[in-house]
Chain A
């Protein structure tokens, strides 16, 4: 590998030395990390989301900081009524803040060691320094949803943590998981979660992710999902905060007749950066994937959508759709949208679409003609644009939570 592709980063010997001796899985990952490093600007998949800024910050492991003391769940963390709440602070499971599980078919265990091999570069970093995590297993129809709350906080020094989540849905089982990521203001923190998902034959997983990190925080999440025959994986991701956020989701179709929906929305102000990178690996016939991502960008923010769709030669009757829509609130932001369709089968239905634009003057006029002033009209239309994205959230309670989050974002923006 060329030297120029490598990035000098703070996750080397000094970082490791602050932690207790590593187990073999972590040691192995550290060796890989030492060889491969973190992706530099020449790595195609990271071209739009440079890690230079992150690599310059002298992060210490959050676990080694003695001045971090989080005793309660912050008041602004949404409450998911009826859900089993699982709380992690700096990537470590906190039994004292979490609900006990006594739900038929549902098992939640603390994860201690990185037992899945995920090859994405940030997943290697995660495995090298895995902070903690949870494993969730569902059998049968699990009535209670699970709400994972991740709270990040640094002390006097910038701190990093690397949680690992595994979600396993047994054949014909059904589960809903909401994951919300938050943090405390102060020194920057870096959350580097990895989630491995498997949805068994005819299983159903609904996964909802809210990233509302502190405005100085970094959040680089990697998800890999295996979806078996006739299974459904329905996901929605909302990005509302953080200095640099990436939600990377890789889906492998491992059985026929599976249906995957990956939807999401983001809203950015100031210099915030948000990246959705997806990979749909259609390696089986008769599967469908649908993606709709919508972003609202203001200030000098930057939104990225990279959607790779690979349809193998034998993956006939694949239906793969992707759409990215961005709404500019000013002239300052930048959007990078890169659809990448590689199709080797001949009997498929695949398409991508992308639109970017400012607010529709006809919409603004309609509202003005009803006496609504321009500022209120714009607010209503931004809210509408984001609310429209939420149409894809089937769970009514989660819909309400995310809708309230969007209102909160609009209020913070209006008062900024």
Chain B
């Protein structure tokens, strides 16, 4: 059984059809990349899996370990191991990053029947992970994402991912906004999380990211549908040729 299985998923937003029958199976240990032109439904797919309101699933299923993900509330999905690194992380004034991280870590620990994390242990853990991602220590004292630069927001998303250790991580354009060095650092962060128990769905516009995080499968999403799938060479081909051939076929 695949870790995450998307079966014939059809989704509308406000009566407008966005996803037109997507099927993907992510096995544990795999990294899948999705590429596709702007506005083809990549973020819609991520949001539907993560459980954002406002999307109407008209057909199809999403299963995590065979469990019906779409029947679960967003917070339940996250505790079950679904993680979405947002394309546009929101700024939340007044909520410190550290209070937020601690609440999120404890929500997960509680769901696993573990005691709450000790304050010292928490700081040590976060500090260590921040260091790996090249983030300053005092970042977590600031309000969540408020005034963070584009790249800092993306690093903060990856920090959350490494702290929450999800089973399925969806990275929606996590590479956009990162400088050349940050791209390497963040990719290494993702690579250290790669494990036989975990799967990744990486949405990107640039093949360069996939030089660092080498995918097992690459899919092309056009018009709310997977129009081609292949290995990492498919990304290279897209980089060279663009989407023209898929657009005319769609």
A binds B: yes
Contact in complex: A369, B92 (CB < 8 Å): no
Known: A370-B78, A371-B164. A384 touches B104 (CB 8 A): no
Query: Is B90 positioned at the interface, with any CB of A under 8 Å from its CB?
Result: yes
A312 contact set on B, CB distance < 8 A: none
A380 contact set on B, CB distance < 8 A: 95, 99-100, 103
Which of B29-37, B45-53, B56-64, B125-133 lies at the binding interface?
Answer: B45-53
Among A360, A365, A376: residue with most chain B CB under 10 A: A365
Min CB distance A80 to B, Å, is: 23
A window 360-416: CB within 8 A of B: 360-363, 365-374, 376-377, 380-381, 383-389, 391
Kindly state the separation between the CA atoms of A383 and B89 in the bound complex, as whole angstroms.
20
Contact in complex: B94, A369 (CB < 8 Å): no
Kindly state the separation between the CA atoms of A369 and B164 in the bound complex, as whole angstroms.
11
Contact in complex: B99, A371 (CB < 8 Å): no
Contact in complex: A371, B93 (CB < 8 Å): no
Contact in complex: B107, A372 (CB < 8 Å): yes
Query: Is B199 positioned at the interface, with any CB of A under 8 Å from its CB?
Result: no
B52 contact set on A, CB distance < 8 A: 365, 369
Among A360, A370, A373: residue with most chain B CB under 10 A: A370
**A188-216 interface bits toward B, Cβ cutoff 8 Å, 1 = contact, 0 = none:** 00000000000000000000000000000
A361 contact set on B, CB distance < 8 A: 53
B window 133-163: CB within 8 A of A: 143, 160
B84 contact set on A, CB distance < 8 A: 369
Kindly state the separation between the CA atoms of A380 and B75 in the bound complex, as whole angstroms.
14
Contact in complex: B90, A369 (CB < 8 Å): no
B83 contact set on A, CB distance < 8 A: 369
A383 contact set on B, CB distance < 8 A: 94-95, 99
Contact in complex: A370, B160 (CB < 8 Å): yes
Contact in complex: A373, B75 (CB < 8 Å): yes
A384 contact set on B, CB distance < 8 A: 92-95, 143
B window 48-82: CB within 8 A of A: 50-53, 73-75, 78-79
Contact in complex: A368, B78 (CB < 8 Å): yes
A363 contact set on B, CB distance < 8 A: 90, 92
A389 contact set on B, CB distance < 8 A: 94
B143 contact set on A, CB distance < 8 A: 384, 388
Kindly state the separation between the CA atoms of A368 and B84 in the bound complex, as whole angstroms.
11
Among A370, A371, A373, A374: residue with most chain B CB under 10 A: A371
Residue among B75, B95, B103, B164 making CB contact with A387, cutoff 8 Å: B95
Kindly state the separation between the CA atoms of A388 and B95 in the bound complex, as whole angstroms.
8
Known: A384-B92, A388-B94. A373 touches B53 (CB 8 A): no
A374 contact set on B, CB distance < 8 A: 73, 75
Which secondary structure dominates chain A's binding surface?
Answer: helix
Min CB distance B140 to A, Å, is: 14
Contact in complex: B53, A369 (CB < 8 Å): no
Query: Is B86 positioned at the interface, with any CB of A under 8 Å from its CB?
Result: yes
A360 contact set on B, CB distance < 8 A: 90
Kindly state the separation between the CA atoms of A361 and B92 in the bound complex, as whole angstroms.
12
Query: Is B117 positioned at the interface, with any CB of A under 8 Å from its CB?
Result: no
Contact in complex: A368, B92 (CB < 8 Å): no
Contact in complex: A368, B94 (CB < 8 Å): no
A372 contact set on B, CB distance < 8 A: 75, 78, 103-104, 107
Contact in complex: B89, A366 (CB < 8 Å): yes
Contact in complex: A371, B75 (CB < 8 Å): yes
Contact in complex: B100, A368 (CB < 8 Å): no
Kindly state the separation between the CA atoms of A368 and B83 in the bound complex, as whole angstroms.
10
Residue among A366, A377, A388 making CB contact with B86, cutoff 8 Å: A366
Query: Is B228 positioned at the interface, with any CB of A under 8 Å from its CB?
Result: no
Q: Can you name the residue of chain B whose Cβ is closest to the Cβ of A374?
A: B75
Residue among A365, A373, A385, A391 making CB contact with B107, cutoff 8 Å: A373
Query: Is B2 positioned at the interface, with any CB of A under 8 Å from its CB?
Result: no
Kindly state the separation between the CA atoms of A371 and B112 in the bound complex, as whole angstroms.
12
A391 contact set on B, CB distance < 8 A: 94
**A203-239 interface bits toward B, Cβ cutoff 8 Å, 1 = contact, 0 = none:** 0000000000000000000000000000000000000
Query: Is B108 positioned at the interface, with any CB of A under 8 Å from its CB?
Result: yes
Contact in complex: B51, A367 (CB < 8 Å): no
B13 contact set on A, CB distance < 8 A: none
Contact in complex: A381, B92 (CB < 8 Å): yes
Among B74, B79, B86: residue with most chain A CB under 10 A: B74
Contact in complex: B50, A381 (CB < 8 Å): no
Kindly state the separation between the CA atoms of A385 and B92 in the bound complex, as whole angstroms.
9
Contact in complex: A376, B107 (CB < 8 Å): yes
Contact in complex: B74, A368 (CB < 8 Å): yes
A377 contact set on B, CB distance < 8 A: 75
Known: A361-B53, A363-B92, A381-B95. A371 touches B86 (CB 8 A): no
Among A366, A386, A391: residue with most chain B CB under 10 A: A366
Known: A362-B90, A388-B143. A369 touches B95 (CB 8 A): no
Residue among B73, B94, B111, B164 making CB contact with A370, cutoff 8 Å: B164
**A141-185 interface bits toward B, Cβ cutoff 8 Å, 1 = contact, 0 = none:** 000000000000000000000000000000000000000000000
A385 contact set on B, CB distance < 8 A: 93-94
Q: Can you name the residue of chain A whose Cβ is closest to the Cβ of B160?
A: A370
A373 contact set on B, CB distance < 8 A: 75, 107
Contact in complex: B51, A368 (CB < 8 Å): yes
Contact in complex: A369, B108 (CB < 8 Å): no
**Interface set of B (CB-CB < 8 Å, partner A):** 50-53, 73-75, 78-79, 83-84, 86, 89-90, 92-96, 99-100, 103-104, 107-108, 111, 143, 160, 164
* A and B contact pairs by CB, cutoff 8 A, 16 listed: A362-B90, A365-B51, A366-B90, A368-B74, A369-B74, A370-B160, A371-B78, A371-B104, A371-B108, A372-B75, A377-B75, A380-B103, A381-B95, A385-B93, A387-B95, A388-B143
Given contacts A369-B74, A372-B103, 14 further A-B contacts (CB under 8 A): A363-B90, A366-B90, A369-B52, A370-B78, A370-B107, A371-B79, A371-B108, A374-B73, A384-B94, A384-B95, A385-B94, A387-B94, A388-B143, A391-B94
Q: Which 4 A-B pairs have the closest CB atoms?
A: A384-B94, A388-B94, A384-B95, A371-B78
